[in-house]
Amino acid sequence: MDLLEAIILGIIQGLTEFLPVSSSGHLELAKAVFENGQVPEESMRFTVLVHAATALSTIVVYRKDIAEIFKGLFQFKNNEEFQFSVKIILSMIPAAVVGVLFNDEIESLFSGQILLVGAMLAITGLLLFLADKAKRTDKTVSYTSAIIIGISQAIAILPGISRSGATISTSVLLGIDKTKAARFSFLMVIPLILGKMAKDILDGAFSGDMTGGYLPLAVGFVAAFVTGIIACNAMIKLVQKSQLKYFSYYCFAVGIISILLSI
């Protein structure tokens, strides 16, 4: 992987992790366009690092919220911060279960299956379109809705289903305030990303030959981190302004093109 390729893939990850257009789907499409010959170990290392970069972006943007959550959690008081922490934990369960039980099957989907990516992008587009038409409400995230949102996050493991798009759309369709929906969506993924990173590292993601060198990995990390901060802040404003429909049109277009190219 050369430096330009690492920068492009890092930017794609940073933007699409937060914008509701599927980071995994776009990375698969980008890899198909580049048609590089990188070995699986190199690809895994890069994927782990750019996901770490976007997790760090979320932590930076929501640092005050995260500090309040930890404060409430460790005080063991049944206050708003403690309840929010419990809801975050509940939302993680479906994706964690799916990831543990079907890890091999999931990894097999990330092997240039452009037809699948295209179909899932179309589904993402439909979710965003419906969410954009939803009526404004001021509900907060309940324990039940946290589990339902968690199920949508588990489904979003599929390449082409946007995690942020699925979770925010589900939240909005449940009647949750759009600002609260975006906040919950971005915060709920941090523990999962960190957990997945730990598993990949223990599985040997950074062991073996470093043929590609460290510089492309570092450049990709920085590109994903910087663009992640920009995209996270932008997405919060876009959700507040009910502009999800434009992303739905984009997902429809890219999905249809991907399907046509794969046939």
pLDDT average, residue stretch 242-259: 90
Q: In the chain, which ranges are continuous DSSP H helix?
A: 3-16, 23-34, 40-61, 63-75, 80-101, 103-108, 114-132, 143-155, 163-173, 178-202, 215-240, 244-262
- Looking at residue 176, its pLDDT comes to 92
- Looking at residue 41, its pLDDT comes to 54
176 contacts 137 by C-beta, under 8 angstroms:
yes
Domain boundaries, the chain: 3-262
Whether pLDDT at 155 is above 90: yes
Question: How distant is the alpha carbon of residue 223 from its chain centre?
Answer: 16
pTM score, two decimals? 0.83
189-220 confidence digits (pLDDT tens): 888 888 877 777 777 666 655 555 688 889 99
20-73 confidence digits (pLDDT tens): 888 878 877 877 776 654 544 566 678 788 888 998 999 999 998 888 777 777
Q: What is d(CA 28, CA 24) in angstroms, rounded to the nearest whole number?
A: 6
- Looking at residue 37, its pLDDT comes to 45
Whether pLDDT at 97 is above 50: yes
> Which of the residue ranges 30-34, 36-40, 142-146, 159-163 would you say has the lowest mean pLDDT?
36-40
Q: What is d(CA 74, CA 45) in angstroms, rounded to the nearest whole number?
A: 33
